[in-house]
Structure 1
Amino acid sequence: MVHQYKLNGYNIVLDVNSGSVHCVDDVAYDIISFFCEAKDRGLEPDRDRIQREILAKYADRDDVTPEDIDDTFADIDELTKEEKLFAEDIFEPSAGVLKERHTEVKALCLHVAHTCNLNCSYCFASQGKFHGERAIMSMETAKRAIDFLVENSGNHVNLEVDFFGGEPLLNWDVVKGTVAYARSIEKEHGKNFRFTLTTNGVGLNDEVMEFANREMHNVVLSLDGRKETHDRLRKFVDGRGSYDVIVPKFQEFVKRRGDKEYYMRGTFTHDNVDFTKDLFHMVDLGFDRLSMEPVVCDPSEPYALTEEDLPKIYEQYEILAKYMLQKEKEGHPITFYHYMLDLTGGPCIYKRISGCGSGTEYFAVTPWGDLFPCHQFVGEEQFKMGDIWNGIQREDIRQDFKMCNVYAREECRDCWARLYCSGGCAANAFHGTGDIRGVYEYGCDIFRKRMECAIMMQVAERMDPVDAQE
C-alpha cells in the first residue's frame, strides 16, 4: 500500500508496510500514481501508456524526456526490489500471536481522587466522579496497587504509575506516600518506577512543585489556551474561570522544572477550532511542550465538533506544522505531542499493531481498588475486570482487548495510517460506536491529518537540514 500527498511544497510518497518515506519531483509523483492505480486493480503498470501520458502532461518542459521517464521506472523498480515501495504486509499473520505474548502488567493509572476542585463542562469523568460517588484512595489501597503491579509485572524492569483523578492533588499525602513506598521496594524487586502526575494546577504550591520536580518523570498540566478559551469550560464550581489562578503557577513550575518532561495539555472544541491561536498563546506564556486534543463528547453538546469543522481543523494542523518548522529555524523549537515521530526507529511492531496495551498491560485502579482497562473505562461497570487484591477475574474482557489491533477492524485494513495509530483508541471506539473494536471515524480523520503533517515535518528537516539548524 502506498499513500501519496502534497503538503508545504513537498511531494510525499509513503510506503505503508515498510514505513519508507520518499520525497519526489512532480514527474515521479505522477508516475507512482499510475503504478498505484494499476496495482490496485491487480494489473501490471502499462509503461508505454504511462510514458505517453507523462510526456503529454509535461510537453512544455524540456527536462522531461523518454530517457528521464525510463530512469524513473528503473528507480521505482529498484525501490520495489528493496521493499521500500509496494512492500508486502508481513505483519498480519503474526498480529494475534504478538498480542498473546504480552500479558504482564507494566503500568497502572491510580485514581487517587474521584473528586475535583473544578467543574469542567466537557469532563469525560463527570467532574471527577466517573459517574459514581466522590471518593479518595486510601494509603492501604495505593500500597496494594503498587504490590499488584510488581507481582504481575513479570520480567518488566521499568514500571509506570500515573497519578490521576479527578484532581490528584486533592489526595496529595497519598501521592507522596505511594511514591515513597514504591521507592522503598524497587531495589528489592529489581524494578524501576517512573511516575506521572496529571493536574489542573489549582493546588500547585512550593511543596508540590519541589516534590514533582524531584520524583515525577512527567507532569501533565491542563490548560486550554487563551483566557477566553480556557475559562469558557474550565471553571470553578461557583462559575469563576480558573485561568488567572493556574497560569502563574504553571509558569513558575515549568521554570523550576528545567529540562525535565512536562506537557501543557489542552482540549479544543467547536468553540475554538482555531486552536493554533491557543497553542501560540501557550508559547507566548513560556511553554514549549504542548498537546492539544479534540474533544470527544455527546454530539448534542454545543461544544461538540462537527463535520463542518474538519476542513478548519486540517488547516490548523498545517499552520501548526509550518509554525514549528519556522521556530526550529529560529533556534526556538517546540514539541507537539502528536507530531512526535521517529521514522528511523520508532515503536516496535508489537506496539504498531496493538497500541497502548489497555486491558492487557495497562490498567486503571479506582479509589476502591477495582481494575478497569484504562481511565476512560472507569465507571463503565461492564468493563470492571477484577481488583488489586484478587487480580484479573474477567479474563474474557482481557481477551477482547488482546484482539484490539489494526487487523481486528476491517476499516483499518485499507487505511494508510494503520501502523501509526495501532487501530486507534479502544475507549473512543466504544464511546463512539458501542464496540471497543469499532472505528471512531471522526478521530481517524483527524489522526490521518496529524500524521501527514508530522511526516512532512520530518521530510522538511531532512530536505533542508541547514535551515533547520539555523
Structure 2
Amino acid sequence: MEIRRQNDIIAFRAPGELPVAFHARNLEVADISEELWNTLGGVEDSELQSVLNEWNSEINPAVTTHKLAREIRSLTINVTQICNLKCTYCAAGGDGTYGAAQTKISVEKTLPQLKFFLDKLPDSGTFRIGFIGGEPLLYPEGIRAIANYVKLMTAGRNLRAQFAIVTNGTLLSDANVELLKEINCNVSVSIDGAAEYNDISRPMKNGQGSTALVIEGLKKLFAVKSELGSITLHGVFTAQNMNLVKAYEFYRQFPADTYEFTYSVSDLNQEASDSFTREMREVAAIAYSQGGEEALRKINFFNRVFSALDSQRRTENFCGAGKSLLVVDARNNLFSCPWDVGNASEKVGQGSEVSEAALDKYAQPLIEQNNCQSCWARFLCGGGCMFVHKEATGSKNQKNGQFCERQRTLMETAILYFKKCRQTDIQKDSDYGKH
C-alpha cells in the first residue's frame, strides 16, 4: 500500500487499483485522478495544488464531533473476580482475579452505588450496565439482582436500561440463558477459534479444553437469539495464535451478529503485530468477496469505521473511560478502566464516593491528551486505548507505536473497502469532493 499526504489530505493506493483520498478532519472519501495523485507525490501543478489547498482548508458543516461530558452513563461491574478458565494471555492477574480473588460482589453494597449514579442522570438517554469477571456467570444471582434493581429504578423515567455481558461461554446453562433472556442482554462470548486453537489458549483450570462446552452453550444462545440483544463472538490473538482467518471461518458457522478480533493488550511482539494486520486484511478480503458490505460490517472494527464515515462523526475518545464510563470491582471500588482493577494507584472512588480530582485527568479529549493532533487517523481512532499505551510505555498518555501502526493500517483497509462499497456514490476526477 502506497500512501501520500498533504496536511489533512491522505491518499492511498493498493496495487493495481485507482488511488483514493481521505480528508482526515472532514471524514470525506473520494476517488482522485492520476494527476492529483501525482501532485500529492510532488509533481508540480499549480492548478491541482490549488485544488488540494482548497479541499484541505474546507470546513464541512455537516461533520459533527462525538464529545463526552463527565456524566456516568455506563458502569462495568466485576460481579466476580474468579474464573473457571486459565487463559494463557489473561491480563486480569493471570487467573481472572486481578491479583485479589473475590468470589462475588456484595449486592447490598452495589445497589446504593447504582442509585447514586442513577440519581445524577436526567430522564433521557441510556444507562448501560456491563457484567464482567473473572467469569460473571459464576454469580448469576448477583446479575439478576442488579439488573432487576436497575430496571426498577429506571421504570417510569425516560431512561433506557441496557445490559451486556462478557462471558467465556462455558456456563451457558439453560438457567443462565433464561436469565440473559430476561434482561434482553447483549452477549459477547470469548472464543479464539476452533478447538485446536481455543483449547490451547483458553483451557479449563484442570487443563482440559473448554471449546466443547462453549459450543454447547452457543447452541443454546442461538436457539433464543430473537429474545436476546446482540450476540458477539470475540477472539483474542497473540504471538502463539495469529490464525484470524481460521477463526473467522470457524465463527461464520454461527449466526452471530458481530465478530470481534482483538490483539492481546499485553503482547508487544512486532512480528505478531504485523501478522495480526495481515490476517485482518485477509479476513476483510474474504468477507467482502463473500458478502460485500454486509459481511464486512459484521466485523466490529470495519463497522465502526464505516459508521463514522457514513455519519461523518468524529471521535475524540477511544472509549468513555473516566468520562461516561466507570468500573466497579467486586469490592465496590471504582476505576476508570476494566484493566485498572487491582491497581490501587488507579482507584477513583469507593462506593458512592467519587474523587473528582482523580477524574480531572480524564477531562480532556484523548486525542489531545495523547498528542494525536498530527495523526491522520485521529478522528477515527480517538487517541487509542490508554491501557494498551501504558502496557508498552508506562503511561496511559504516551502512545504505543505498535498499536498506532495497527490502527492506521487497518483504517487504510477500511477506507478502501468503504470506497468500494460506495463506488456508485463517489464520483471524482481531478478535484476534491465528498462521498
Q: Which category describes the TM-score, using the shorter chain as reference length? A: 0.7 to 0.9
Is the aligned partner of 1:120 residue 2:87?
yes
Give the distance between the partners of 1:332 and 1:434, measured in 2 at CA: 38
Is the aligned partner of 1:6 residue 2:4?
no
- Asked if structure 1 preserves the Cα contact closer than 8 Å seen for 2:87 and 2:203, the reply is yes
2:401 equivalent in structure 1 = 441
State how many pairs are aligned.
410
Give the distance between the partners of 2:335 and 2:257, measured in 1 at CA: 33
- The residue matched to 2:80 in structure 1 has which SS? strand
Shift of 1:403: 2.7
Task: Give the counterpart letter for 1:152 in structure 2.
Answer: K
2:432 equivalent in structure 1 = none
2:70 equivalent in structure 1 = 103
1:387 equivalent in structure 2 = 350
Is the aligned partner of 1:230 residue 2:219?
no
Shift of 1:27: 3.2
Shift of 1:261: 1.3
Normalised by the length of structure 1, the TM-score is: 0.80
1:73-130 deviation digits (Å, cap 9, x = unpaired): 3xx755754x4x454799xxxx9xx66xx12211100111111111112111122211
Pick which of 143-152 and 122-131 moved more.
143-152
Is the aligned partner of 1:289 residue 2:258?
yes
1:198 equivalent in structure 2 = 166
Is the aligned partner of 1:131 residue 2:96?
no
1:293-337 deviation digits (Å, cap 9, x = unpaired): 00122xxxxxx4521234433321221111111122498666001
- The residue matched to 2:155 in structure 1 has which SS? helix
Structure 1 residues 456 and 222: CA distance shift in structure 2, 3 A? same
Is the aligned partner of 1:367 residue 2:365?
no
Select which of 403, 408, 411 maps to 2:364: 403
1:450 equivalent in structure 2 = 410
Task: Give the counterpart letter for 1:113 in structure 2.
Answer: T
Task: Give the counterpart letter for 2:245 in structure 1.
Answer: T
- Asked if structure 2 preserves the Cα contact closer than 8 Å seen for 1:2 and 1:13, the reply is yes
Task: Give the counterpart letter for 1:360 in structure 2.
Answer: K
2:5 equivalent in structure 1 = none
Shift of 1:22: 1.1
- The residue matched to 2:142 in structure 1 has which SS? helix
Structure 1 residues 18 and 178: CA distance shift in structure 2, 3 A? same
Give the distance between the partners of 1:79 and 1:251, measured in 2 at CA: 54
Is the aligned partner of 1:358 residue 2:327?
no
Structure 1 residues 364 and 310: CA distance shift in structure 2, 3 A? closer
Give the distance between the partners of 1:80 and 1:217, measured in 2 at CA: 49
- Relative contact order (C-alpha < 8 Å, sep 6+): which is higher? 2
Shift of 1:171: 0.7
Shift of 1:189: 4.3
Give the distance between the partners of 1:347 and 1:428, measured in 2 at CA: 27
1:35-77 deviation digits (Å, cap 9, x = unpaired): 8xxxxxxxxxx426xxxxxxxxxxxxxxxxxxxxx6xx3xx75
Structure 1 residues 274 and 178: CA distance shift in structure 2, 3 A? same
Give the distance between the partners of 2:104 and 2:390, measured in 1 at CA: 27
- The residue matched to 1:428 in structure 2 has which SS? helix
- The residue matched to 2:366 in structure 1 has which SS? coil
2:433 equivalent in structure 1 = none
Give the distance between the partners of 1:397 and 1:10, measured in 2 at CA: 49
Select which of 342, 357, 371 maps to 2:307: 342
1:62 equivalent in structure 2 = none
Give the distance between the partners of 2:42 and 2:232, measured in 1 at CA: 43
Listed as ranges, the matches of 1:279-318 within 5 Å are: 279-287=248-256, 289-297=258-266, 304-318=267-281
Give the distance between the partners of 2:77 and 2:298, measured in 1 at CA: 27
Shift of 1:272: 2.2
Give the distance between the partners of 1:34 and 1:217, measured in 2 at CA: 54
Shift of 1:154: 4.3
Is the aligned partner of 1:47 residue 2:45?
yes
Task: Give the counterpart letter for 1:47 in structure 2.
Answer: D
Structure 1 residues 388 and 2: CA distance shift in structure 2, 3 A? same
- Asked if structure 2 preserves the Cα contact closer than 8 Å seen for 1:17 and 1:87, the reply is no
Listed as ranges, the matches of 1:411-430 within 5 Å are: 412-430=372-390
Task: Give the counterpart letter for 1:315 in structure 2.
Answer: R
- The residue matched to 1:196 in structure 2 has which SS? strand
Give the distance between the partners of 2:255 and 2:126, measured in 1 at CA: 31
Listed as ranges, the matches of 1:204-223 within 5 Å are: 204-223=172-191
Q: Which runs of 5+ in 2 are unaligned?
A: 1-7, 426-435
Normalised by the length of structure 2, the TM-score is: 0.86
Give the distance between the partners of 1:344 and 1:418, measured in 2 at CA: 13
- The residue matched to 1:216 in structure 2 has which SS? coil
Give the distance between the partners of 2:60 and 2:345, measured in 1 at CA: 35
Shift of 1:347: 7.5
- Asked if structure 2 preserves the Cα contact closer than 8 Å seen for 1:354 and 1:422, the reply is yes
Q: Over aligned residues, Cα RMSD in angstroms?
A: 2.7
Structure 1 residues 271 and 355: CA distance shift in structure 2, 3 A? closer
1:51 equivalent in structure 2 = none
Larger helix share, 1 or 2: 1
- Asked if structure 1 preserves the Cα contact closer than 8 Å seen for 2:191 and 2:235, the reply is yes
- Asked if structure 1 preserves the Cα contact closer than 8 Å seen for 2:230 and 2:257, the reply is no
Aligned-pair identity in percent equals: 20
Structure 1 residues 306 and 160: CA distance shift in structure 2, 3 A? same
Structure 1 residues 229 and 86: CA distance shift in structure 2, 3 A? farther
1:180-226 deviation digits (Å, cap 9, x = unpaired): 11111212444211000111111101222233134234111000012
Is the aligned partner of 1:17 residue 2:25?
yes
Structure 1 residues 333 and 5: CA distance shift in structure 2, 3 A? closer
Larger Rg: 1
Pick which of 174-183 and 336-345 moved more.
336-345
Structure 1 residues 335 and 420: CA distance shift in structure 2, 3 A? same
1:214-240 deviation digits (Å, cap 9, x = unpaired): 423411100001212111120111111
